[in-house]
Amino acid sequence: MSDNSKSPNLKSPNLQSLYPFAPHWLDLGGVKMHYLDEGPRDAPPVVMVHGNPTWSFYYRTLIPEIAQTHRVIVPDHVGCGLSDKPQDYPYTLEQHIRNLETLIAHLELRDITLVLHDWGGAIGMGYATRHPENVRAEHGSRFVIFNTSAFYMPAVPWVLKLARSPVIGETMLRGLNAFAGMAVYLAMVNHKRMTPDVRAGYLAPYNSWRNRIAIYRFVQDIPVSADHPTRATVDAIDAKLHLFRDHPMLILWGAQDFVFTVKDFLAGWQARFPKADVHILDHAGHYVVEDAYERILPPMKVFLSKT
């Protein structure tokens, strides 16, 4: 497979207007992790964790508003966004949790609030269950949950199982960019918002075979069977979610997500967090922030302002 190893191009004026944030970098033993750091440094920290195949660009419509009252940290997972994309790297849930641990410790963030989407649910809750002393409700920590999971569910669509295969899957995801390319259409309901510039923003970091390595590895890391190595990591997270049963939690869920469905995954969150404030957003899909940010920001700002 040919590979021109292009670097992501975010220098177009239209893209810079959509993503006008200063870059920051953390050295993870020779691998650079990119992150955003917006808002007052002494404000309560909010860490927004993205999934696959997005990057910090996904949260761009929330960051300016939330950063008026909070310090907003938004990392790009290694292999994603503007972070390095090493080819020989352990792209596993365990490693992504460790990277988030390193970033939060490096920035000396205390009593954090977590905003989680897609794989960000397992990564963020992985951090929380290992560091409950830094996610304390009595000190203002809370959770904002978008279509995601932090527990095992057997409901995996056949298309994702196909995408995990070593030949067909790798050709589709790395060669044809099918996962990221199709997501900008299938993960949304309000397609008018997926303008050419927005689409270019989502796809810019994933412009070559090499730069799509993490997209494929994330899909391979889905624990579809009991003996999958990541299944034990997910089960360990789920076993400790009860630590946050009484924490303030706001769930904002796109009702038309065919992967993270209401009946399976939202029900899973509600069973574990019966006190959560749940908003089901009709006419919104998996990219719920893209579909409904103007409906998300008002309740989210109120939720974050409560003491």
Per-residue pLDDT, 4? 39
Per-residue pLDDT, 12? 75
Q: 0.85 cut: is pTM over it?
A: yes
Q: Which domains does the chain possess?
A: 21-156+224-305 (3.40.50.1820)
Per-residue pLDDT, 7? 60
Per-residue pLDDT band at 162 (split at 50, 70, 90): low
Q: List CB contacts of 60: < 8 A, sequence separation 6 or more.
A: 18, 19, 21, 201
Per-residue pLDDT, 141? 97
User: Under a CB-based contact definition with an 8 Å cutoff, are residues 281 and 295 in contact?
Assistant: yes
Over range 72-78, report the average pLDDT.
Answer: 98
Per-residue pLDDT, 34? 98
- Choose the weakest-confidence range: 117-131, 143-157, 245-259, 293-307: 143-157
Per-residue pLDDT band at 3 (split at 50, 70, 90): very low
What Cα–Cα distance (Å) separates residue 168 from each residue in 79, 159, 172, 275? 21, 11, 6, 43
Tens digit of pLDDT for each residue in 191-222?
A: 999 999 999 999 999 999 999 999 999 999 99
Please state, in angstroms and rounded to a whole number, the distance separating the CA atoms of residues 113 and 95.
21
Q: To 10 degrees, what angle do helices 178-186 and 196-203 make?
A: 140
Retrieve residue 264's tokens. Answer: 């399976």
Please say if the pLDDT value at position 306 is more than 90.
no
What percentage of the chain has pLDDT greater than the value 90? 84
Per-residue pLDDT, 169? 85
